[in-house]
């Protein structure tokens, strides 16, 4: 169905934005890479909002 496709797109965009945020935080603050890595692992352990 269309809503399932939309949910997949939303989840993909959400993961992509999370990666962009973590990459930018790594680029602008290289002194705290462990915190960004923890943020990446935590975001991936959490399921999407729309399931």
Residue 51, C-beta contacts closer than 8 angstroms, at least 6 positions apart: 7
Task: Quick: pLDDT tens for 1-51.
Answer: 788 888 888 888 888 888 888 777 766 665 555 555 566 555 555 555 554
Arithmetic mean of pLDDT over the chain = 70
Share of the chain above pLDDT 90, in %: 0
Structural domain boundaries in the chain: 7-45
pLDDT of amino acid 39? 61
- Residue 14, C-beta contacts closer than 8 angstroms, at least 6 positions apart: 48, 49
Q: In this predicted structure, what is the pLDDT of residue 51?
A: 43
H or E stretch covering 10: helix 2-28
The tokens for 16 are: 């992509």
pLDDT at 31: 57
**Rounded Cα distance, 43 and 37, in Å:** 10
State pLDDT tens for residues 35-48. 555 665 555 555 55
Tell me the backbone φ, ψ of residue 39, rounded to 5 degrees.
Answer: -65, -40
């Amino acid at each position: 169905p269309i809503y399932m496709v939309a949910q997949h797109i939303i989840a993909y965009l959400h993961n992509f934005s999370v990666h962009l945020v973590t990459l930018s935080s790594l680029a602008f603050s290289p002194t705290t890479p462990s915190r960004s890595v923890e943020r990446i692992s935590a975001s991936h352990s959490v399921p999407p909002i729309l399931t």
